[in-house]
Amino acid sequence: MGDDREALTGRVGEARRRSETARLLMRARASSGAARTRYENEVVSLNLPVARDIARSYRGRGIADDDLDQVASLGLVKAVRAFDPTLGDDFLSFAVPTLRGELRRHFRDAGWTVRPPRSVQETQAAVVSAEAELSQRLGRQPDVAEIAAHLGLSVPLVRDALSADGCYAPVSLDAPRPTTEESPVARLGDVDPAFASTEARLAVLPLLVGLGERERTIVGMRFFDNRTQSEIGDAVGVSQEQVSRLLAGILARLREALEEPVEAGATRQVG
């Protein structure tokens, strides 16, 4: 019973805040000078707890709590001044995206731990502005496709911009976590088996350049295209036995060249 009463009280308080905000915004719209400023300040004071709640959801990402509260408060002031009550009376549908936009912008400028591509950073600011504009026009939170269409951007780019928040505080690979939660390490890719042969490839490459055209063709078909000796013979116009002898000779020369010491600034040559 107590919980129901608290929930009802919360809904009544929210309804009163909304109606009072709408009333003050209409008065501000009809006023000018000091009177307009006074009404706008009252709207800011009335909705300041909302701004602080939104700032609280961004804590723990490397920016001081006081800075987040200040950024959210300034965002609320901007939202109050930019809101047009003749287009709708739901102030928060416009203010919340605006506040989030100011916080994200602050993180973009001061809080990146891992910097995504500049295109994503720049798109994020445009997405935030579009989100606020569409929220007031639609009376609800726009989806990714609607934001993309409004900005003339691709859905994947908009989605990347919206998901870039993780760059402010990347997930630790080593931090302890509940046993029921999968470790980020488990989602990493396997080691590429080609890494083991990278050094050998780099050493052999300049030697292959020193081979004749037919010899390079034979080596490429055998070791890169996995062709049989018979197929290679048909391609270069020799028998399978000749291909076998040619391969043996080429490999012997490559091994000999690899074993030769190389002075600084010199290059290996295949004899």
One digit per residue, the tens of pLDDT, for the chain of length 271 reads: 445 444 434 454 788 888 888 889 899 888 888 999 999 999 999 999 989 998 888 877 667 788 888 888 988 998 898 888 887 778 888 888 888 888 877 776 665 555 566 666 677 778 877 887 787 788 788 888 898 888 888 888 888 777 765 455 555 666 666 666 666 666 666 666 666 667 667 777 777 777 888 888 888 888 888 889 999 999 889 999 998 999 898 888 888 877 765 554 445 555 5
In 3D, which of 75, 67, 121 has the Cα closest to residue 98?
A: 75
- Buried b / exposed e over 5-23, threshold 16 CB at 10 Å, is eeeeeeeeeeeebbeebbe
pLDDT at 264 (0 to 100): 44
In 3D, which of 159, 224, 236 has the Cα closest to residue 194?
A: 224
In 3D, which of 106, 102, 107 has the Cα closest to residue 77?
A: 102
Question: What predicted TM-score, i.e. pTM, was given to this entire model?
Answer: 0.42
User: Which ranges in 57-190 belong to alpha helices (H)?
Assistant: 65-82, 91-110, 118-138, 144-151, 155-162
Residues 72, 66: Cα–Cα separation, whole Å:
10
Domain 193-259 classified CATH 3.90.78.10?
Answer: no
pLDDT at 190 (0 to 100): 65
Residues 99, 106: Cα–Cα separation, whole Å:
11
Do 147 and 131 contact (CB within 8 A), yes or no? yes
> Quick one: tokens of 32?
């000018």
In 3D, which of 187, 156, 161, 163 has the Cα closest to residue 173?
A: 187
pLDDT at 38 (0 to 100): 92
> In the chain, which segments carry CATH 1.10.10.10?
193-259
pLDDT at 118 (0 to 100): 65
pLDDT at 124 (0 to 100): 74
Residue identified by tokens 């010899």 is 215
Neighbours of 262 (CB within 10 A): 12
pLDDT at 42 (0 to 100): 92
